[in-house]
């Protein structure tokens, strides 16, 4: 079976009150349209067409990496008109192909992001040349939706839009989700017969249902597992609701895999987890972004943000850390209040303490940088101890230079290492030094004015007026 998925995404989204086209608003840092596409893409033997209109340029630019064909609907004359743009393609010179007779056409909405693959598969399994598949849902409050009108035998007769509905039709709780699957040959026939004689003056895709019934095609309905799957985003309140639904699902998935979340309602994953150990404990307000890997027995403290990083086994990250593009070796302890900037690579059992910033630096096994330091463009060997307030001066205002601190070195507190500079193996730097030249192995190096004490010196006293 060959599937053609058509994602409708040409609508304006006025109620978002935004310059950004609605389908580019995000859930978990991923545009709504991308969520729909990613689900569709999991179907085998499937080509995806996306109908765009409002903000078409912005949408196609933002999502140019998608393996989909973009079809423009210049005027938004209704959902039926949107699908017609795809079926009319064969008559244009674009080189794109329209709907083929043998295609199973799946209609999705670009602003309904949480639809599940299983629901789509069930829907598609109901299609054949005698049957059209329609996804419906029963809503306590059906206002605004098209209603599913059934005959006395319980078979679907038609869909009536809210604005065209009679008082008694408005009482119906079963509504059209808009999502359907239908054989190409039939769809094309019905599309060519659509008209816009309704209250909104639009070409309604939903009118094909009545045509199918007239042609003695079965309309087979199925339902999603949860209502949230078929909820659309029309405003930012609905967007925030679906964000929470999505986050709760991800949280559940992590907990099922052996992660303790102190409060799943205060956890956000905006990206993917490439590999995940067990017995991971995550405190509140943690945000995982991009692609992360987390080993076993890891603890992550409150209010920590981790992006595109690899965290080894038995790592402890204390509260309020910001970690990006970093690798943290097994058994290391980070924070509280530490910042690991891109290209920070820490070996095993490294300690990075409070108010320490690391950038583009490697720190080998067993080294400690525990308080108030900036380490940038530096290679730190193993078992190095860097005292409080140490700063690598890597930037002269124009160029950046590297600092090398070899194994076993001890840097006294409040030192500045002016790069390029090398501190030799087991060297000791006296506290308060400004180091401008390479410091030899095993020796004490310090640059410090000699301390003097003045005997007989007296404090000034206030003059009498
Ligand atoms: C549509 C259905 C309604 C259903 C509801 C579910 C029709 C006539 N009605 O109503 O039965 O209950 O969805 O949410 O189909 N779009 C285009 N081009 C257009 C018009 C719409 O691409 O010319 C896209 C929109 O961007 C959106 C989707 O189609 O993603 C639905 O459009 P919308 O205007 O929200 O349809 P409703 O009137 O809500
Ligand atoms: Ca709508």
Per-residue buried b or exposed e for 174-185, using 16+ beta carbons within 10 Å of the residue's own CB:
bbbbbbbbbbbe
Give residue 232 CA to ligand 2 midpoint distance, Å: 7
| Catalytic annotation, pick one of 81, 241, 314, 371 | 371
Give residue 63 CA to ligand 1 midpoint distance, Å: 21
Residue of 82, 169, 178, 224 with the most ligand 1 atoms within 8 Å of its CB, for mutation = 178
Residue of 11, 54, 148 with the most ligand 1 atoms within 8 Å of its CB, for mutation = 11
Q: How confident is the model at residue 465 (pLDDT cuts 50, 70, 90)?
A: confident
Give residue 115 CA to ligand 2 midpoint distance, Å: 15
Q: How confident is the model at residue 137 (pLDDT cuts 50, 70, 90)?
A: very high
In the chain, % helix, strand, coil (3-state, to 5) comes to: 20, 35, 45
State the Cα angle at 458 between 457 and 462, rounded to 5°. Answer: 155
Three-state SS at 423 = strand
pLDDT greater than 80 at residue 213: yes
198-217 mean pLDDT: 97
58-84 mean pLDDT: 97
Give the CATH number of domain 3-230; options: 3.30.43.10, 1.10.760.10, 3.90.550.10, 3.40.50.720: 3.90.550.10
Poorest-confidence range of 92-106, 289-303, 380-394?
92-106
Question: What residue spans in the chain does CATH classification 2.160.10.10 cover?
Answer: 236-445
Q: Cβ distance 296 to 276 under 8 Å?
A: no
For residue 96, what pLDDT is reported? Answer: 75
403-410 mean pLDDT: 98
DSSP β-bridge partners for residue 385: 368, 410
For residue 331, what pLDDT is reported? Answer: 98
pLDDT greater than 80 at residue 95: no
Measured from the alpha carbon of residue 235, the closest ligand is 2
Q: Which residues surround ligand 1 with Cβ inside 6 Å? A: 8-11, 51, 53, 73, 76-79, 81-82, 109-111, 145-146, 159, 161, 175-178, 204-206, 232
218-234 mean pLDDT: 97
Query: Counting beta carbons within 10 angstroms of the beta carbon of residue 140, is it exposed (0 to 12), middle (13 to 18) or buried (19 or more)?
Result: exposed
pLDDT greater than 70 at residue 423: yes
Give residue 249 CA to ligand 1 midpoint distance, Å: 26
Express as a percent the part of the chain with pLDDT over 70. 99
The span from the CA of 381 to the CA of 389, in Å, is: 19
Q: How confident is the model at residue 94 (pLDDT cuts 50, 70, 90)?
A: low
197-225 mean pLDDT: 97
The span from the CA of 21 to the CA of 11, in Å, is: 9
Q: How confident is the model at residue 181 (pLDDT cuts 50, 70, 90)?
A: very high
For residue 266, what pLDDT is reported? Answer: 98
Active site residue 241: no
Report the mean per-residue pLDDT for the chain: 97
**Other CB atoms within 10 A of residue 45 CB:** 8
CATH class of 236-445: mainly beta
The span from the CA of 313 to the CA of 298, in Å, is: 6
For residue 88, what pLDDT is reported? Answer: 87
The span from the CA of 108 to the CA of 67, in Å, is: 16
Q: How confident is the model at residue 89 (pLDDT cuts 50, 70, 90)?
A: confident
Give residue 131 CA to ligand 2 midpoint distance, Å: 26
The span from the CA of 368 to the CA of 323, in Å, is: 17
Measured from the alpha carbon of residue 234, the closest ligand is 2
DSSP letter for each residue of 137-204: EE-SS-TTSPEEEE-TTS-EEEEE-GGG--TTGGG--EEEEEEEEEEHHHHHHHHTT----STT----
Measured from the alpha carbon of residue 112, the closest ligand is 1
Q: How confident is the model at residue 83 (pLDDT cuts 50, 70, 90)?
A: very high
The span from the CA of 367 to the CA of 100, in Å, is: 65
Question: What residue spans in the chain does CATH classification 3.90.550.10 cover?
Answer: 3-230
For residue 425, what pLDDT is reported? Answer: 98
Q: How far is CA 120 from the centre of its chain?
A: 22
For residue 91, what pLDDT is reported? Answer: 62
- pLDDT tens readout for residues 326-358: 999 999 999 999 999 999 999 999 999 999 999
Comparing CA positions, the residue from 322, 288, 328 lying closest to residue 308 is 288
Residue with tokens 């964000």: 243
């Amino acid at each position: 079976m060959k599937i053609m998925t058509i994602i409708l995404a040409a609508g304006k989204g006025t109620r978002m009150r935004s310059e950004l086209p609605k389908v580019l608003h995000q859930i978990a840092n991923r545009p709504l349209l991308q969520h729909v596409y990613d689900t569709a893409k999991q179907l085998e033997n499937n080509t995806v067409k996306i109908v765009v209109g409002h903000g078409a340029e912005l949408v196609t630019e933002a999502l140019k990496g998608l393996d989909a064909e973009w079809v423009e609907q210049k005027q938004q004359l209704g959902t039926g008109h949107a699908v017609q743009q795809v079926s009319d393609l064969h008559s244009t010179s674009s080189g794109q192909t329209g709907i083929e007779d043998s295609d199973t056409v799946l209609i999705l909405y670009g602003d309904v992001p949480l639809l599940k693959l299983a629901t789509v598969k069930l829907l598609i399994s109901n299609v054949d040349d005698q049957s059209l598949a329609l996804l419906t849902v029963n809503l306590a409050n059906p206002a605004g939706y098209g209603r599913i009108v059934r005959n006395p035998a319980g078979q679907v007769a038609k869909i009536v839009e809210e604005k065209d509905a009679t008082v008694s039709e408005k009482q119906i709780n079963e509504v059209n989700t808009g999502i359907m699957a239908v054989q190409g040959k039939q769809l094309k026939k019905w599309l060519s017969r659509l008209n816009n004689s309704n209250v909104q003056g639009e070409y309604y895709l939903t009118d094909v249902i009545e045509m199918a019934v007239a042609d003695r095609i079965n309309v087979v309905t199925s339902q999603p597992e949860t209502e949230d799957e078929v909820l659309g985003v029309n405003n930012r309140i609905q967007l925030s609701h679906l964000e929470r639904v999505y986050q709760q699902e991800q949280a559940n998935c992590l907990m099922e895999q052996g992660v303790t979340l102190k409060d799943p309602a205060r956890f956000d994953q905006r990206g993917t987890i490439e590999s995940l150990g067990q017995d991971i404990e995550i405190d509140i307000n943690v945000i995982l972004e991009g692609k992360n890997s987390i080993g076993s027995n890891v603890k992550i403290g409150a209010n920590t943000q981790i992006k595109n990083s690899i965290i080894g086994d038995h790592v402890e990250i204390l509260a309020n850390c910001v970690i990006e593009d970093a690798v943290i070796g097994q058994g290391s302890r980070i924070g509280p209040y530490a910042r690991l900037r891109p290209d920070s690579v820490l070996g095993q059992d490294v300690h990075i303490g409070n108010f320490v910033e690391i950038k583009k630096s490697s720190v080998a096994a067993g080294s400690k940088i525990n308080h108030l330091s900036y380490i940038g463009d530096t290679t730190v060997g193993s078992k190095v101890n860097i005292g409080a307030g140490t700063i690598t001066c890597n930037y002269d205002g124009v160029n950046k230079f590297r600092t090398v601190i070899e194994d076993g070195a001890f840097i006294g507190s409040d030192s500045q290492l002016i790069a390029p500079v090398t501190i030799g193996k087991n060297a000791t730097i006296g506290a308060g030094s400004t180091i401008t030249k390479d410091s030899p192995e095993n020796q004490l190096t310090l640059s410090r004015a000699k301390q003097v004490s003045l005997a007989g010196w007296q404090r000034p006293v206030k003059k009498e007026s």
